[in-house]
Each structure stands twice: as structure tokens, then as C-alpha cells.
Amino acid sequence: MIQKEFSLAFTAVACASLLLVAANAPVFADDSDWAAPMDAVTAPGALKTTSASGPAAAAAPVTDRRLLLMKGLQLKNGAGKAPFGIEAAPQLQYYGGPLLGAVKIQLVFWNPAVAYQDKLPGFYSAITQSPYFDWLSEYNVPGASLGRGSYLGAYTDSVTNPTGKIEDTDVQAELSSLIAKKAVPKPDANTLYMIYFPPGVNIDMSGSGSCQVFCAYHSSFAQGGREINYGVIPDQGGACAGGCGGDPSQFNNETSVSSHEMMEAVTDPAVGLVTGNTPQAPLGWYDGTNGEIGDICNAEQAKVGAYTVQREWSNARGLCVASADDPGAPFTPQSPAPSTGGSIAKRP
């Protein structure tokens, strides 16, 4: 059986103590909202780590799996200490944060060498208009209903070339720059930027490395009076292969990892704005033990149409499902992963 990958769900936790409804979200008065440098970007949940924009005090790596999940990471097989033992039966709880009722996907390929630029637009066009979204209505809340989404387009950044190690703050700076230059559309209350990376780039989040500890993550930051939601998808070959999905096709594992982050961002977008270490607003739907909707079903793959996706947790059915017609799969808890010197354990 496929070992599970876990997402750092709590990144998606906090946005506000009030439910943010799309119709009430602020709009940008003019382009000056995006002219601000990155020091004007407020991300209360962001880590104080070294970034391309300048050095800062390095934070100690996060090792507790629950805290990693609260940061929105999708953990690689076996990653993260789990001192609380076997996970309890899942039950997502609503914490009052925003939801992406009709998600709009904008792709960003950060370098022309990113894999599957020819295939990912077709995946998002099809999957956002598929039964994969229809059953999410069980997570509707007053003032916010979840339904099908749409695909906006793709942009390839052929100017900047991420190499070596980059930080989450660098990702935010890149996205802010692209929005300011009108290379990608400005965000509204349903926009989700999915950012893909070329091979050989190590992304650091909370002191944890891509394809060593996590497979992907989603997060958020605030700028210009707007919450900006984004997903980070490392190249799924190399060190990610085998630990981030059990399909023999790298593309299928990439769409599975991508769907995990997309659905978590839909149901819990404001994770990057969470300021505490316990579940609270502006989290959306979250389980304090098991994480977000995708973490609970990590690496449980299914087909929707022609594409491989990850199943997501249904409170109503008590199963991991990909559609209303999917027979589903039961929740399978993981035993605590071993720790090495107090750091997050890698996949064996």
C-alpha cells in the first residue's frame, strides 16, 4: 500500500476571526497597491529565515508533525515527529476563515525548464470543471458555498532563474513582482496561484526542505488589502520520486500532489496568516490532529476523468473520496515517524 505523504496543513490556518465572503473582499483601487517592496508584504505566519532579499535571524527547524501540518506542508513519507501517537478518527472543524468558493487557477512556471508545461493547463481546465469539486458542498458555510472553479492561464518566467536553495519569502517576492508587472492577473477572493519549479531547486519552508521533508505546500500572505493565496509545487522527479506518490508516472504523481494542495487551498486558504500554534481563525476547515482535507488522505490516489488526483476527506461519508460516486478509501493512520537528533525524519 502506498505510504502516506502529509501536508503541512496549518499553513492554511489563519486569516481572520470573521468569515470572509468573496463579495465583501476589498478591491484594488489602482496599480499602486502592487508597487510596494516585499517589506510591505505582511505575513504574520512567515518564518524569519535567510532570503534573497537579505539575511535575517534563522529560525529553528520545526519538527512536530502537527505544527508542520499547520504550516500547510504536504509531508513526504515518514516525515515529521508525531509525539501524540496514532492519529484520532478525523473530523474537520470550521474555524471561521475564508473559503475559495469558485477557485480560479493561475499557473506560474518559474523557469522554462519546468516539466509538463504542455500538460498542466489541460489538467486544471478539466479538473476544476469536474465532479471532483461537486461533493465539496458538504463544507458550505453561511455566506460561502463551494463549487466548481476555472482555469485562468499560465505564465512562464524566463527572466529570473531560481537555483540552489530559495525561501518561502522569495516565492512571495516573485509572485508580488509578477502581479505588479501585470504578468499575471491581480488576485480576487477566489484566485489561487500554483507555482511550479524546475529540477534542482530546493525550497525551504520552516527549516524543512522540499523533497526531503515535504512534497509541496500552500500558503498565503497579505498585500494591498488583499489575501494572496498560492501553492508551491517542486519538481516531482529526483528526490521527490517515490516519496510523493505511488504511481509509476511522474506526471500522475504531480497532478496528485497538485490536487492535494489545490483542495486544501479551497477549504483552508488563509494558512499563512495564522499566528499561533493552535487551530484558530483564520483557518477554514481543519482537524487539529490530522491536518487539512488533503493531509488526512495523503497519497490516496484515484482517477477523475483522464487525470490522477488525490482523494480528500469527507466528514459526511467518513472516507477519503474523489467524487460522490467514488467508493472511497478509509482513513489510514500512520505510526509516529522516528526522529533523528530532534530533526524531522526523512523517508527511510
Distance CA 120, CA 207 (A): 29
Distance CA 92, CA 142 (A): 17
Higher pLDDT, 317 or 20: 317
pLDDT score of 80: 42
Higher pLDDT, 160 or 260: 260
Indicate the average pLDDT of the chain.
79
pLDDT score of 127: 99
- Each residue's pLDDT tens digit, 164-206: 899 999 999 999 999 999 999 999 999 999 999 999 999 998 7
Phi-psi region of 27 (alpha: psi -120 to 50; beta: other; left: phi over 0): beta
DSSP secondary-structure letter at 294?
Answer: T
Distance CA 48, CA 19 (A): 28
Which residue do the cell numbers 468558493 mark? 101
- Each residue's pLDDT tens digit, 31-54: 545 544 333 333 333 322 222 333
Q: Give the sign of the dihedral formed by CA 319, CA 76, CA 128, CA 166.
A: positive
Q: Residue 272 has which C-alpha cell?
A: 499563512
DSSP secondary-structure letter at 293?
Answer: T
Beta bridge partners of 304: 307
Q: Residue 343 has which C-alpha cell?
A: 530533526
DSSP secondary-structure letter at 236?
Answer: S
Task: Report the relative pairing of strands 319-321 and 312-314 from DSSP bridges.
Answer: antiparallel
pLDDT score of 340: 23
- Each residue's pLDDT tens digit, 200-216: 999 998 788 999 889 99
Higher pLDDT, 210 or 30: 210
- Each residue's pLDDT tens digit, 80-128: 434 334 456 899 999 999 999 999 999 999 999 999 999 999 999 999 9
- Each residue's pLDDT tens digit, 263-294: 999 999 999 999 988 999 999 999 998 999 99
Distance CA 186, CA 147 (A): 21
pLDDT score of 180: 97
Q: How far is CA 282 from the centre of its chain?
A: 15
Higher pLDDT, 79 or 164: 164
Q: Which of 1, 6, 3, 168 is nearest to 81 (CA)?
A: 6
Instruction: Give the confidence band of 55 by pLDDT, cuts at 50, 70, 90.
Output: very low
| Amino acid at site 135 | W
Instruction: Give the confidence band of 162 by pLDDT, cuts at 50, 70, 90.
Output: confident
8 A C-beta contact, residue 67 and residue 47: no
Higher pLDDT, 52 or 297: 297
pLDDT score of 87: 55
